[in-house]
Structure 1
Amino acid sequence: MGIEYDGRGLLGWQRQKDGPSVQGQLEAALSFVANQRVELTCAGRTDAGVHATAQVAHFDTLAVRERHSWVLGVNSRLPDGIALRWAEPVDDDFHARFKAFGRRYRYVIANRPVRPALEAGRVAWWRRPLDAARMHDAAQTFVGEHDFSSLRAAGCQAKSPIREVHSIAVQRRGSYVILDIHANAFLHHMVRNIAGVLLAIGDGREAPGWAARILAARDRRVSGITAPAGGLYFVHVDYPPEFALPSAEGPVLEGIPGNGAI
């Protein structure tokens, strides 16, 4: 399944006992349509407040339904902030997480003196002027295979801090600054922590060389802030072509000219 969701008001992807989650809402809707209990596995778990335009998840079921029946039936049981975009049968060897060999995130920053109202919780807000070119140059420090210990959450449960960033780009579009990052996988808070470093470099509080020093330190305590969740979007998952899954578009946000496919 391909899923999009607005992370506002949700406690992230993972099922929670004390509040609504994307997984919990979807499993309830799917179980109703399948008339049996359904459990989901996703390509990458997202935190509370984080959005997705192209999350992918799989489930096993004995229920037989047409593709459009899954989509229409599940969507009729979901809140407005979560929607099933497509559903496709896959071979038994498909796995939403382990067959994925790349993931893409986009971080959107409204860079202006006044906080956004209509986009509150859908973009990050930074009042200090940002130099996107300076941020882009510093961001190239993170490209390649590195130990990202300085840029993961203290409670990250990943066995290894090694990740490979394939590309990272920062560009300005009007009053917005957009960070796009593509990697084989991500650590907990990795994108938001990278964004926090680049924000300090972009507004001139830190020199571009600070990024390299943080990476080399392998110590979260020397790094910057964890940027707000509302600016982060999970926008694409890479799978081998033989699965022939539908392609996905990046987030379309009002006021960002030229925003479209990743």
Structure 2
Amino acid sequence: MRLRIDLAYDGTDFHGWAAQPRLRTVQGELEPAVATVLRLPEVRVVCAGRTDAGVHARGQVAHCDVPDTVEDDQVDKLTRRLNGVLPADLRIRGVRRAPDHFDARFAALWRRYAYRIADGAAALDPLQRHHVLAWPRPLDVAAMNAGAETLVGLHDFASFCKQRPGATTIRTLQELRWSRDEAGVLVGHVRADAFCHSMVRALVGCLVAIGEGRRSPEWAAEILGARRRDPSVAVLHAHGLTLEEVAYPAEEDLAARVTQTSAKRGEPARGSR
């Protein structure tokens, strides 16, 4: 049977999600913990979004397949037992039997991230230094939102991604906007059907340049239209980024969603948003 695992982690001391030899990763910690608790030789865990080194998560979702001999009472106790063996910077928020056709990666409708920046002395909080980027100059929220608006929609985001052989860079960016929280921290709200490698941090880097006044809001669309990486677009630090939430369709729509997202994304039509 398939289990759904909801989890959160502080990415400071992790080299990202994916297991790597001799490096501490979220997957590398989670898989042996599940195997140990369920007394299985090994378990493979698949997540909704493979976060980079230093990126945090409040709303990560994963799944794993276990023998159907695992009993319901074992599943019910799995959250508590896993939190008893996992390190303090990786917490399980819930484990349950997944419905038919559930896939943490391919069934997701969207992923929502937040990027947090303290661009003024009043917003600096040493207790949040591992999760909020301290920026030395004030940022113009209105200018950043003007630039962000031109990036929303279905586009080829090759200009903002580290390309991988055979992987598409076409994504639907559903939301990109900036606001300030009660403490004055600038928060970038970013939601898309999926993200390619380093995409969110490159988008933020582009908009910070606009917020500082070094570039006009129109520059964001120019970079997007070039469809190639531009060294003038900085990929900002990982520690300001948090995966906040992953959304899934109703159970009856899971199979159709998996089929849809498993297919390679096509080229967007001219002028599509």
Shorter-chain-normalised TM-score: which range? 0.7 to 0.9
2:100–2:251 contact (8 Å) kept in structure 1: no
Give the counterpart letter for 2:45 in structure 1: L
Shift of 1:139: 0.3
2:158–2:169 contact (8 Å) kept in structure 1: yes
Return the alpha-carbon distance in structure 1 between the equivalents of residues 15 and 133 of structure 2.
18
Residue 221 of structure 1 aligns to a residue whose secondary structure is coil
Shift of 1:209: 0.8
Of 50, 57, 69, which residue of structure 1 is paired with 2:62? 57
Q: List aligned pairs for 1:235-254, cutoff 5 A.
A: 235-242=244-251
Q: State whether structure 2 residue 41 is matched by structure 1 residue 13.
A: no
| Root mean square deviation, CA, Å | 1.9
User: Could you report, residue by residue, the CA deviation over 1:85-141 in whole angstroms, capped at 9, with x for unpaired residues?
Assistant: 011101342111111121111111111259653222211121110111211121011
Residue 58 of structure 1 aligns to a residue whose secondary structure is strand
Gaps of 5+ in 2: 254-273
Shift of 1:152: 0.4
Kindly tell me: are residues 55 and 98 of structure 1, through their superposed partners in 2, closer, same or farther at Cα, counting changes over 3 Å? Answer: same
Give the counterpart letter for 2:71 in structure 1: V
Shift of 1:38: 1.1
Return the alpha-carbon distance in structure 2 between the equivalents of residues 219 and 163 of structure 1.
15
Q: State whether structure 2 residue 150 is matched by structure 1 residue 146.
A: no
Equivalent residue, structure 2, for 1:249: none
Select the structure of larger CA radius of gyration: 2
Return the alpha-carbon distance in structure 2 between the equivalents of residues 125 and 201 of structure 1.
17
Equivalent residue, structure 1, for 2:198: 189
Give the counterpart letter for 2:66 in structure 1: T
Q: Normalized against structure 1, the TM-score is what?
A: 0.88
Equivalent residue, structure 2, for 1:96: 104
Of 79, 85, 92, which residue of structure 2 is paired with 1:77? 85
Q: Normalized against structure 2, the TM-score is what?
A: 0.85
Q: Determine which structure has the larger helix proportion and give its number.
A: 2
Equivalent residue, structure 2, for 1:24: 28
Kindly tell me: are residues 121 and 202 of structure 1, through their superposed partners in 2, closer, same or farther at Cα, counting changes over 3 Å? Answer: same
Give the counterpart letter for 1:138 in structure 2: G
Give the counterpart letter for 1:195 in structure 2: V
Aligned residues: 244
Equivalent residue, structure 2, for 1:259: none
Return the alpha-carbon distance in structure 2 between the equivalents of residues 243 and 87 of structure 1.
21
Q: List aligned pairs for 1:39-58, cutoff 5 A.
A: 39-58=44-63
